[in-house]
Chains A and B, each alone.
Chain A
């Protein structure tokens, strides 16, 4: 009887050891860092608006001054008119800001704002921060762009 218990104990010990090794190896594996959220459409920080951000004409081209469109809708889906928009940003991993000062230059109707003067001068992870003030209140949103 005693010998069976000895086997069970030994088995448990071995299992614990194995689990420990597996856990250790798992911890040492390079963490596959979840990349930045690349969605081009998202809720603003406090949920006041839904913002979409995309190049006005097709693809993102490195080193070129391009215009983008920021489309603002309320949570209920109505276009946001007359918004005041501030823009900042940079490369979080390079500790530098944007090489240009993009501005909201035109309101194109249906909640769409032209953001002109956007330029990405190098490859890597860029962030654009938008401050948005409209009748519904003020909110902000960050878009990640990886080149």
Chain B
């Protein structure tokens, strides 16, 4: 009889614990470890970029910010970096494909934490933040300028500020008004007619423009979100207060994100990215030119005179290991694109490298279905998530924006 009573009281206690929502063991130790690894407080402080000796010079960052917002840094005087990287929109433009002087074929990437990337653009066709900043300046669809014109413009508008940071400007009196190895036929001809020393002079000014813009962009960092507050409370065992508390749906979404849905495989670490390139079977956009992603970017970054091996790098070649040990071929880089950070993603549709999906529901439906890639091999496999699971993932992703 006594034994029966103790069994009964044990059962009653167990039932109470279940009903009472003590809900303590919501996450396993392994899950807690993964969640902690995603929290913003694990983001290390930003390392200096030894290839850009001006990267942490305040005057360079100040000049860079002026240039970033200056429409004069374009062929028609109306397009700046900030045309597409809008300061009040997470430094992106909400468009499926960026529009500068012309219509591009890629989605504008947001800039929070960009200085931590080993590779730039969706396909990684540049290997430093300063080399990246130079590319839209001469792209005929973006800022559509040419480096000779930029050198003249800097001298005219910002000569003093430039020289205080970078030292004396070269003599530009015999440099053509418009010249670039990448420009129109006339600009190319003008460039080829310049003595090599003069080309170097212009390239040096051009590289310094990129280094100033990069110095400014280094200050753009991700901010704390509801998820981070939740993760810190979970790690310290504190009871999440107010908005740091997750709803059951958000908790389910988080569990799926780090579990069954495999999102965290690539979206890992405090920036929710592995900084690598993957083919995930995202379909191409019909009316856009052929786009093969990383496989075509390899030759471009190797040919870039402003890459880490080039003479415009500061510091020594030990900074160039990403480029040195880059994967140059093989099936996995065809239609492979960079894993984007998911911080703030819920507030910036459309999604993917050409804005293929207009909502997070569409993104998650894509990964749940995992269609075959049109070219190359998709790394994702069908998940067959229920509607409830898909909504829970969206609910969790929103906690990275609040």
Contact = CB atoms under 8 A, between A and B. Distances in A.
Contacts of B379: 94-96
Nearest to A121: B274
Interface string A99-130: 11111000000000000110101111000000
Interface of B: 265-266, 268-269, 274-278, 321-322, 324-328, 330, 332, 377, 379
B265 A116 contact: no
A122 B327 contact: no
A97 B330 contact: yes
Contacts of A123: 265, 268
Interface in A40-67: 62-63, 65
Contact of B265 (A63, A99, A122): A122
Given A63-B275, A65-B321, A122-B274, A95 B327 contact: no
14 contacts: A63-B269, A63-B274, A63-B275, A65-B321, A99-B274, A100-B325, A100-B327, A101-B325, A116-B321, A116-B325, A117-B325, A119-B325, A121-B276, A124-B265
- 4 closest A-B pairs (Cβ-Cβ)? A117-B325, A121-B274, A100-B325, A99-B276
B327 A101 contact: yes
A100 B379 CA distance: 17
A145 interface: no
A146 interface: no
A98 B278 CA distance: 11
B139 to A, nearest CB: 27
B274 A101 contact: no
Given A65-B325, A95-B377, 13 more contacts: A63-B275, A65-B322, A97-B327, A97-B332, A99-B327, A100-B326, A101-B328, A102-B325, A117-B321, A121-B266, A121-B268, A122-B274, A123-B265
A62 B321 contact: no
Interface residues of A, number: 20
Contacts of A98: 327
A101 B324 CA distance: 8
Given A94-B379, A121-B274, A121-B276, A62 B269 contact: yes
A65 B330 CA distance: 20
Contacts of A122: 265-266, 268, 274
Contacts of B332: 96-97
B325 A103 contact: yes
A117 B118 CA distance: 13
A98 to B, nearest CB: 7
Contacts of B322: 65, 100
Given A94-B379, A121-B274, A122-B274, A101 B326 contact: yes
A75 to B, nearest CB: 31
Considering residues A62, A65, A101, A122, which has the most beta carbons from chain B within 10 angstroms of its beta carbon?
A: A122
